[in-house]
Structure 1
Amino acid sequence: MTTGVRQTGSRPDGRRASFEREGERERERERERERERERERERERERERERETETETETETETERKTETERKTETERKTETERERQRQRERDRDRETERDRDRETER
């Protein structure tokens, strides 16, 4: 007759040992599930690091593109400025030549 007090020792039919083994198997399955969850968290962290790396690479590439564009734009501005100076020198020469002609004509 049992009175709710836990008996120690194994039963002759082996049921208690079976329950203990089943409990241990369940604890082992839970540990394995936890290990799998940790592996999944690690995979997610790795994917996040890869996304960050891709973002950094895209940012660097975009910065390089902008820098190249700015360099081209600066070169174009310098070229245009030089062209404008050249045109101004030509106009100045033309005016000087015209003045010289006018002086020659007056004489």
Structure 2
Amino acid sequence: MTDTTPASPLTPEREQEIRTAVAVYQDHPTIGFSCCSAHAPADAVPALLAELDRIRASRAEMTRSNADWLDGIGQDHAAAMLRYSLDLDAEMAGVPAGPDAPQPTE
């Protein structure tokens, strides 16, 4: 089991464990998150994960914009490296990169 103390880093594996636990328990017909004193914090987890997704998508969009700008001023190699960093981030997080990547919402 992964260390779940507040000081533990949010690794891609730990994030997936949290997402899986939320999906399993929140949709359970008789348990949900309403059976314990952790109800309020547990109810906040889906919103926190959604905010994390929004921040990542926004960061990716800014990085894509920066890469486009670098292309425009002839810095093709730097632009390619930025785009590559997005692919690496997506691969580590287990989400699609490029045009299939999540887009920021407002």
TM-score interval for Structure 1 and Structure 2 normalised by the shorter chain: 0.3 to 0.5
More helix by share: 1
Instruction: Answer with 1 or 2: which has the greater Rg.
Output: 1
TM-score (norm 1): 0.34
